Amino acid sequence: MTGALPVIAGSNFGYQLYPLRHCFAQMAAAGRTDFELWGIAGHAHLPWLSDEQARALRAQAADYGLRIRCLTPEQVSYPVNIASPNRDLRRHSLRGFRRAAQLAAELGAELLFLTAGCGSALEEPERGFARSAEALAEICGYAHELGLRCVLEPLQPSESNLVTTAGQAAAMLEAVRAPNLGVTLDTVAMAVAGESVEDYWRSVGDRLWHVHLIDGRPAGHLAWGDGWLDLRGILRDLVAGGYDGLLTVELFGEGKYHADPGAAHRRSARAIEQVLGELSGHLGRN
């Protein structure tokens, strides 16, 4: 194990029915200092967001002692698909991600969150993979000019037919060959794929730059304690491999947390903090 521990990030996942300022206030009250911003309508709809508005959001977050570290554009939905066989949809998606990179820089973020998109069900997966790699290379190249790193998340098979495993993420890294492209480990996607943290370390090594840490059955994006994933084992293996980045609790749960997302976040954070505290004590004895 290394001497550094990862950091729990606040986020607006689960806060669709609340103003973003309310989310900022609750994250600050929960002790968060780092924040992942999900670019959804009502909070930060990226197609409508101006540079000036982005800078205002950055200042508003700072008012609550929060720093926006990662921008996650809305993307696992039509018509945003960088691997689409439809040329117009692909161009539209690329323009959207270039704009997202500009806004990430204005927000002061260091990470731009990406997914591989989805190819046609009636073509060989290699064709969609190649389109995705080409698009990711363009996005990462532009993001690099702005001083940003990008993180690619393997999705569940219900979301993508291109990158759903650690091995496929490694293959995409090899295809794109962008020094500023790393990988996000999503614990639910990992569990659905039947994989482990060790599989990610073996496949992508030190390119593991971001983590969505949520419970599941194995799917669901649940608060910790509402699923059956092994939180202690996951954190132990992340820390043992040297991961010291962000841990974002990405709450969805089919709307079950909308009534009180703050409570779900606090419950999850307490569970994570308890395990990190135990791991920290172990580090101190070594």
Strand 208-212 to strand 246-248: parallel, antiparallel, or no bridges (unpaired)? parallel
Q: Which amino acid type is present at position 184?
A: T
Q: How many residues does the chain have?
A: 286
- Residue 159 has φ and ψ, to the nearest 5°, of -110, -30
Indicate if 134 belongs to the active site.
no
**Per-residue three-class SS string for the chain:** CCCCCCEEEEECCCCCCCCHHHHHHHHHHCCCCEEEEEECCCCCCCCCCCHHHHHHHHHHHHHCCCEEEEEEECCCECCECCCCCCHHHHHHHHHHHHHHHHHHHHHCCCEEEECCCCCCCCCCHHHHHHHHHHHHHHHHHHHHHCCCEEEECCCCCCCCCCCCCHHHHHHHHHHHCCCCEEEEEEHHHHHHCCCCHHHHHHHHHHHEEEEECCECCCCCCECCCCCCCCHHHHHHHHHHCCCCCEEECCCCHHHCCCCCHHHHHHHHHHHHHHHHHHHHHHHHCC
Catalytic residue among 250, 254, 273, 278: 250
Indicate if 174 belongs to the active site.
no
CB count within 10 Å of CB 259 equals 10
- Residue 67 has φ and ψ, to the nearest 5°, of -120, 125
Catalytic residue among 36, 106, 153, 159: 153
Q: Which residues are catalytic?
A: 153, 250
